[in-house]
């Protein structure tokens, strides 16, 4: 049983500079999720992101586009992200700019105590470039991105799918972007739907039943099991 307590959370939007909505959640082990809802033609520089969490300015981070279209500019490179396109950045990409070409929603995932590393950015699409894995068996399809220090898993749980996990040492943040599921962690029960999630502490039993849900699991430190590589 972990000394850190599992808990549910909601992404509560805060209007930034009257321009865009930012929601954020930091877990017990420093795992950070930022949700940005950006209107068309908005420019966001890394300084604004760093002002929220200065500790991740030089750390590995994953940017995922959920809807719309954004352009990420860094150094002399430019990447256009559409639905489920993602970009893994490192300390060599500490200065970046995000421009929303359309009304867009993106997530940024990082952790506070990562070690800065100078590596080339990695561009990928969860649906096109990552093979689906049947991690749980049955009606669950997972696509696992194995970053340098982070795991990010896109899951698609079919309606009626039940799952149960005895727990693991890694912090896990799970959140839903479409559909819903009934979730439990230890004796805490809640319904997860778009805009809500759960922070799972070390070795806490968790699971649930899906009503048809698409979302993400982020792990830090990353999972070492073969199925997560």
Quote the CA–CA distance of 149 and 99 in Å, as a whole number: 27
Report the alpha-carbon distance of residue 144 to residue 177 in Å, rounded.
17
Pick among 3.40.1440.60, 3.40.50.720, 3.90.1530.10, 2.60.120.10: CATH of 10-126: 2.60.120.10
pLDDT score, position 4: 81
Query: pLDDT tens-digit profile of 11-63?
Result: 988 888 878 899 999 999 999 999 999 999 999 998 888 888 777 888 999 99
**What b/e sequence results for 174-186 when a residue is b if at least 16 CB atoms lie within 10 Å of its CB, and e otherwise?**
bbbbebbbebbbe
Task: List the chain domain ranges.
Answer: 10-126, 128-228
Tell me the per-residue pLDDT of 145-154, one tens digit each, with 9 for 90 and over. 999 999 999 9
Could you write out the DSSP letters of every residue in 132-150? -B-SSSSSEEEEEEE-SS-
Question: Taking Cα atoms as reference points, which of 156, 203, 161, 152 lies closest to residue 183?
Answer: 161
Q: Which two tokens stand for residue 69?
A: 């279209």
- Rounded to a whole number of angstroms, the distance between the first and last alpha carbons of the chain is 26
Q: Name the pTM for this structure.
A: 0.94
Provide the 8-state DSSP code for 101.
S
Has residue 138 got a pLDDT over 70? no
pLDDT of residue 1: 42
* Residue whose tokens read 């865009």: 20
Q: Which residues contact 90 (CB under 8 A, 6 or more apart)?
A: 60, 116, 117, 118, 119, 120, 121, 148
- Residues 6 or more apart whose Cβ sits within 8 Å of residue 88: 60, 61, 62, 121, 122, 123, 124, 145, 147, 148
CATH architecture of 128-228: Sandwich (2.60)
Given this model, what pLDDT does residue 3 score?
Answer: 59
Query: Among candidates 120, 115, 114, 151, which has minimal Cα distance to 227?
Result: 151
Domains 10-126 and 128-228 share a fold: yes
């Amino acid at each position: 049983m972990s000394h850190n307590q599992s808990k549910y959370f909601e992404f509560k939007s805060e209007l930034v500079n009257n321009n865009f909505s930012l929601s954020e959640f930091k877990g017990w082990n420093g795992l950070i999720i930022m949700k940005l809802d950006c209107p068309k033609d908005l420019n966001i520089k890394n300084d604004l992101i760093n002002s929220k969490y200065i500790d991740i300015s030089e750390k590995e981070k994953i940017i995922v586009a959920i809807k719309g279209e954004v352009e990420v500019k860094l150094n002399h490179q430019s990447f256009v992200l559409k639905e489920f396109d993602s970009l893994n950045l490192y300390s060599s990409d500490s200065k970046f700019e995000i421009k929303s070409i359309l009304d867009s929603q993106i997530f940024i995932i990082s952790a506070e105590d990562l070690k800065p590393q100078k590596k080339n950015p990695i561009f990928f699409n969860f649906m096109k470039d990552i093979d689906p894995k049947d991690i749980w068996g049955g009606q669950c399809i997972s696509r696992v991105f194995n970053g340098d220090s982070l795991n990010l898993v896109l899951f698609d749980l079919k309606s009626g799918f039940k799952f149960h996990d005895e727990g693991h040492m890694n912090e896990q943040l799970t959140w839903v972007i479409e559909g819903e599921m009934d979730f439990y962690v230890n004796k805490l029960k809640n319904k997860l739907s778009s805009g809500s999630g759960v922070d799972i502490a070390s070795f806490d039993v968790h699971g649930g039943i899906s009503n048809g849900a698409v979302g993400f699991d982020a792990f830090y430190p990353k999972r070492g099991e073969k199925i997560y590589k």
